Amino acid sequence: MKKNFIFLSLIAILAISCMQENNFPETPAIKFNQIINKTDSIQLWIDFTDGDGDFGLEQGDTTGSFDDCLRQYNLYLIYQEKQNGVWVDNGVAEPGILDPCVNEDAVPFYYRVPWARPTGQDQTQEGTIKLLMQTYYLPSEFDTCRFRIQIVDRSLKESNIEYTSEFLKP
């Protein structure tokens, strides 16, 4: 009898904790987690939350609100180089040269994170985006880089901006 009480108490505690809803804002939020620099790639982890659960893109999301080239992506990494002590976007003087919407030959630092549609009553999302990047720097005379990070949800709400830690080119 005592064992059953303990077992039922554990089930009740688990049920109550599962019923607690997360209370995140509807605007997505990100936090840089870590970056691992290897000689041929980097691994990047970004933590995110979205209170209304609409972060992510489905394969067919390329029309309507997503028709604009820029909105066909939902994870934006802006490459930056430290040049003479100052962070420079794209590592180049010409704005937009790495933007695939401006230059179709651009290095792809914009990504499509798939939608993991929430189920159940709690529609919030909380997770970690893990990204493996084979191409992650541009050749130049400068050796210190980082990425500025931002995500956009399906309602086109933009997250805060985060920065990776700086890293050296191989």
Query: Running along the chain, 170 residues long, what does each successive block of 10 average in pLDDT?
Result: 37 40 83 92 92 86 75 87 88 58 70 82 86 84 92 92 92
- Give the pLDDT of residue 1: 41
8 A C-beta contact, residue 118 and residue 54 = no
- Give the pLDDT of residue 35: 94
Q: How far apart are CA 5 and CA 23, in angstroms?
A: 32
pTM: 0.78
Cβ atoms within 10 A of the Cβ of 71, count?
Answer: 17
- Give the pLDDT of residue 162: 96
Task: Classify 9 as helix, strand or coil.
Answer: helix
Q: Which domains does the chain have, with CATH numbers?
A: 23-168 (2.60.40)
